[in-house]
Amino acid sequence: MADRQGGTQKWCPNCAAVTVVKAIVIEAAHTLTIDEPLMQRVIYRIGKEEVHYFRRGQQCQDCFHEWLSAEVPEGLIRELVDLKDRIDTQNAEASSKQSENRNLRLV
């Protein structure tokens, strides 16, 4: 929610803290869209039309850092975290096997 300070309290990646953040229009954002006009904020990704999100420019009112944020359904975030966990597990298992193979060659 917007507060009396002129924005919403959100995480600023530059300050690494929750600060007052103001929604702004970032003209460069248009280069990141796919077949959508600048003012339309619902984006459909190529090959994944079920993945859509609401994007807006943000500006920290403490440090004035600007960035793009995206609001996505929470279920999508859960799915991404689950997939990342699976990849991390696969990478750890592959690294362990490589280490075991190196140890066997040394014996």
Render pLDDT for 21-78 as a digit per residue (tens, 0 to 9): 998 887 654 444 444 444 445 565 656 777 777 788 899 999 999 998 888 889 989 9
Q: Which residue has the tokens 């995206």?
A: 70
Long-range contacts of 35-39 (CB under 8 A, 24+ apart): none
pTM: 0.60
d(CA 95, CA 30): 41
Length of the chain: 107
d(CA 41, CA 26): 12
